[in-house]
Structure formats: structure tokens, C-alpha cells
Amino acid sequence: ALSANLSKPIIYSDEKPSEVSPYCSAPSPAKLTSLTLHPAFDVTNSATTLLLTSQPDLPIRLTNALDLAYTHASYTWQNHLTEAYISPSSLLFVDNDHFVAGAKDTLAVFNIHNQDAPIHEFATRKGRKARKLYGADAAGIGGIVSSLALSTDNILAAGTYNRQVGLFENVGQGESMAAFDLSY
């Protein structure tokens, strides 16, 4: 079940802390692989309570956190060879109109007004064939992108379950700046 604790924060004092209860909750029909809130999310304005979710074998969905039964939009991200849906394991809103999705060895940037496909998609590292046959740079990160963060100067940080972190220019639409292996 998906629930959101959206009450006012507890301020520490000598008084007994108040009880925190969910503002709303709803069962999820399938396992969620990732979710993120819209940057303008404000529980006092139901028009802004947007939630982006991903589930296995389904398009990415933009729903209202207060009414999960209604889908505002769905975004198709498919494998070009098999036409299977790619289910992102991490999602991040960049601004009010764009979000980044991370999956195995791949990042994609979407515009919320364009539901057809990502506006930009790229591999987080060069493939084995490119590295072996053509001497492509081995820098990059490999594995499932498990977390995403954005700096104030639009540098996207992507972390993988393989304990690697990559930094990408221009919100993931630019070149790979650096890659770190944290497996030591």
C-alpha cells in the first residue's frame, strides 16, 4: 500500500509529541519500482499533488497522490529491440516539466507534455563491444541506476547498485563528467 505522511512536522519541546497519521493511503495494484513527487507538490492544493510512479512491465504513470485511480499521463519507455516496457528503478523531477528515469545501464529524460518517448536517452557506459573492438573509453557506470540527484548547476548524479556513481552534464543530456567506484 502507498501512503503519505503529510502532516506538519513535530517541533521538539517539553510537550508530548503529537501522533502522526497518514493523510491518505491507497493499495498499489502492482509492485512499485520507483516513485517521486512533483516539485510543486502542495497538499493544500490538490491540483499540485502529482506523483510519478513506475511498475514492472507498464508505462511510467503520472497520477494524483490523493486519487491514485486517475492517471493524468503515461510515458512510454521501451526497449527498441523487444518493445518491452523499461521499468525505471529511479525517478527524479528536474523541474516542473521534465523528469529523469534510470534503469539498467541507461538514463532517459522525459518532457511531461510528450508521452510518446523520452526526449533524450543514453547509456551510462559504453558497451563491451565498443570498449573491446574500438577502444572506447571505459569510464561510466554500469548496473541498475538506483538513485538520482541534481545539483544547483544542473549536474546529474546517478548511483547504481554496483556501488558506482556517475556525474553527467546538463541534467543527464550532456557528457559524462566523472565516474567513481565505491566498492573498496
Strand partners, 73: 62
Q: Of the ranges 87-91, 134-138, 142-146, 170-174, which one carries the lowest mean pLDDT score?
A: 134-138
140 or 58, higher pLDDT: 58
- Give the mean model confidence (pLDDT) for residues 84-100: 93
pLDDT, position 139: 65
| H or E segment to which residue 181 belongs | strand 176-181
Question: Chain-wide mean pLDDT for the chain?
Answer: 82
Percentage of residues in the chain having pLDDT higher than 90? 39
Per-residue pLDDT band for 67 (boundaries 50, 70, 90) equals confident
Q: What backbone torsions phi and psi does residue 22 show, to the nearest 5 degrees?
A: -65, 140
177 or 42, higher pLDDT: 42
- Give the mean model confidence (pLDDT) for residues 133-147: 72
Nine-digit cell at 134? 574500438
Is pLDDT above 60 for 170? yes
pLDDT, position 27: 73
DSSP 8-73: PPPPPSSSPPPPP--SEEE--SS--SEEEE-TT--TT-GGG-EEEEE-TTS-EEEEETTEEEEEEE
pLDDT, position 101: 95
